Chains A and B, each alone.
Chain A
């Protein structure tokens, strides 16, 4: 499959950059040479199946693990040697926050807040109420979903310039109302304060609301990286009936033969906005795809 890679932006002004990251566990490669750069104020949605390498990529980009090869930079600094000032500008919410479990939610927020120059204590207090977290309960006694909500509050209250979220298990973490509120916060902060957001999730429709770009990670490689609107306009599914498949285009992002012998291909418009010629074959058909369909097609 074609790896469509975008040129990595200048490391100096980019909040987050990965260069040729390779990592693996027990001889198996989880990241297979990933290049990825985020521009300030962008909201990048990282899509991938379980085990695609999303968490490893994020941890390597933030310097939380040392890759086998390749490098990562945060605000131009090597991720593995971040200065305190760079750290105070980042907030990271992992899938399963575990730190400081012996404190209550209120104690933890009070404690952590002291490390951040721009801590928004009133916001933290309001959100605890809004997201129905008992401030005096020990973090260890909260459900995993509640824990992640507290961690989201912690991340947002620090008013970071770079916010990295891993929200892979939504059912546990946020109900639809809270989820919408979170998305609203992300969207408005990116638009107004120029916060850069890297957002990893399975819930593609969340990404479609707030993301300006998406990156598809599959088997440790970046398959596609594109603006959300652009992705929807540029790619489509071409269906070719069985008797016409000899005329199928040679170039496609994915190709699937259906049981009746017909072909389904993911194709791209050319520079003039035209679909491949095969789209005009008798009986052939082009369907526009949402991101989720596109992802399912190319990640098979």
Chain B
């Protein structure tokens, strides 16, 4: 994996370390990162994105604690061997939960009924 695969938005309300973990989760779930694949070093990620290396270490540490990554002696971090692309629909759907809740909140704020929103969403998904 290359450090450029990550997108960092420093001014987003979400802390950078969470942005990294979230993206690792998605990349692994979607199979873009495969079990055993080597992650870029903390230095590479920090250097490429001009971010504090401690932030990257923190993200890797959290991903390791979650079982997404494993530390390989002398090599660095790799995608955990037990990680397979998530096949089950419900598990993949769960990764969208935050975004769906956010969307629902906006819909409620705009006092829109569900139907037109769902129709529009269906159209977007159909394309």
Interfacial residues, chain A to chain B (CB-CB below 8 A): 43, 180-181, 183-184, 187-188, 190-192, 204-206, 208-212, 228-229, 232-233, 287-293
Contacts and interface: CB of A to CB of B under 8 A. Distances in A.
Interface in B10-41: 10-18
Interface centre among B13, B17, B52 (most CB of A within 10 A): B52
Contacts of A232: 13-15
Interface centre among B18, B47, B50, B54 (most CB of A within 10 A): B50
B49 to A, nearest CB: 7
Given A209-B10, A290-B11, A229 B50 contact: no
A209 B49 contact: yes
Contacts of A289: 13
Interface in B45-88: 46-47, 49-55, 58
A181 to B, nearest CB: 8
Contact of B52 (A43, A181, A233): A43
Taking chain A's interface residues, is the majority helix, strand, or loop, or is none over half, making it mixed? helix
B3 to A, nearest CB: 12
A228 B54 CA distance: 12
Interface residues of B, number: 22
Contact of A229 (B15, B43, B46): B15
Contacts of B13: 232, 287-290, 293
Contact of B10 (A208, A233, A293): A208
Interface of B: 8, 10-18, 42-43, 46-47, 49-55, 58
Contacts of A210: 50-52
A188 B46 contact: yes
Contacts of A180: 50
A184 B47 contact: yes
Contacts of B15: 228-229, 232-233
A253 to B, nearest CB: 16
A228 B58 CA distance: 13
Nearest to B58: A229
Nearest to B56: A191
B11 A205 contact: yes
Contacts of A192: 43, 53
B43 A188 contact: yes
Contact of A191 (B11, B16, B49, B52): B52
Given A210-B50, A229-B58, A290-B13, 13 more contacts: A184-B50, A191-B42, A206-B10, A208-B10, A209-B8, A209-B16, A209-B50, A209-B52, A229-B18, A229-B55, A288-B13, A291-B11, A292-B11
The 9 A-B pairs with the shortest beta carbon distances in the complex, nearest first, are: A191-B53, A288-B13, A229-B15, A208-B10, A183-B50, A184-B50, A205-B11, A209-B10, A290-B11
